[in-house]
Amino acid sequence: MFVGLWTPIATATTAAVLVDLYVDARVGGSRGFFAYHHQALLTAVTALMVAAPSGRSLSLDRWLALRRAAAAGLPPPQERGALWAQRLIALQVSAVYLWSVVDKLSPDHLSGARLERIVMHHYTGSDLPTSAALSAAFVVAAWAVIAVEAALGIGLWWRSARRLLVPLGVLFHAALFLTLPVCVFSALMVLLYLAYADPDAVAATIDRLLGGPAAQVCHTPTAVRDE
């Protein structure tokens, strides 16, 4: 699946295995590897990728298809396809942010108490300094997290807003990556910002990076390049 060999079959097989492991962990009450939110997100995204036209571009499947077409004297096969599954992946990312906001709309979080416990658990133990300024900082941080997650969950759908929100999201998740044990989740969320990107812009950027001609711009939503 990573290198793009027999990509549709590899993706479907990987998704089936992940779904089976995740459901088994949840039904069996296991708190093992497939019991946490980042595994759930990985499983959901992989399952959605089954519906994407994977393997048409930047893959071994693409290289083999070009060789077959050249040998038969045919034009290169189409790299473009419907990307509605990409939109569902973006919707999944927004759902993660917005349900996280809903989870935080409680007095425990809004008062800063939850963040205080997190700091005590990972850094200070039971000796959290008592200070009015520190307590106020926890309250401000608690509300700031809600504001950032709500903005990301909604605003990433607009291209003009992404210019501000993508760097903000990267900084937000970088802070989580460096301060809390949520490294896989943080890296995955930033990577999934690509699901919101304009496919033609991504295609043109990759063409420039590879030293080839920029991709022809095509604004038809159902006929865009699959990257």
Query: Is 200 inside any structural domain?
Result: no
How many folded domains does the chain comprise? 1
Domain holding 129, by residue range, is 94-195
Query: Is 144 inside any structural domain?
Result: yes
Tens-digit pLDDT profile for residues 171-188: 999 999 998 888 888 999
Query: Is 112 inside any structural domain?
Result: yes
| CB within 8 Å of 59: residues ≥ 6 apart | 3, 4, 5, 7
Query: Is 123 inside any structural domain?
Result: yes
pTM of the predicted model as reported, rounded to 2 decimal places:
0.82
- Cα(73)–Cα(67) distance, rounded to whole angstroms? 10
For the cut 60, the answer to whether the pLDDT of residue 198 exceeds it is yes
Rounded to an integer, the average pLDDT of 190-195 is: 94
Residue 223: its pLDDT value, please?
42
Query: Is 67 inside any structural domain?
Result: no
- Cα(205)–Cα(176) distance, rounded to whole angstroms? 29
Tens-digit pLDDT profile for residues 14-71: 999 999 888 877 666 655 556 678 888 999 999 999 999 888 888 999 999 999 999 9
Query: Is 191 inside any structural domain?
Result: yes
Query: Is 117 inside any structural domain?
Result: yes
Q: Which amino acid is at 47?
A: A
Query: Is 149 inside any structural domain?
Result: yes
For the cut 90, the answer to whether the pLDDT of residue 191 exceeds it is yes
- What SS3 class is residue 139? helix
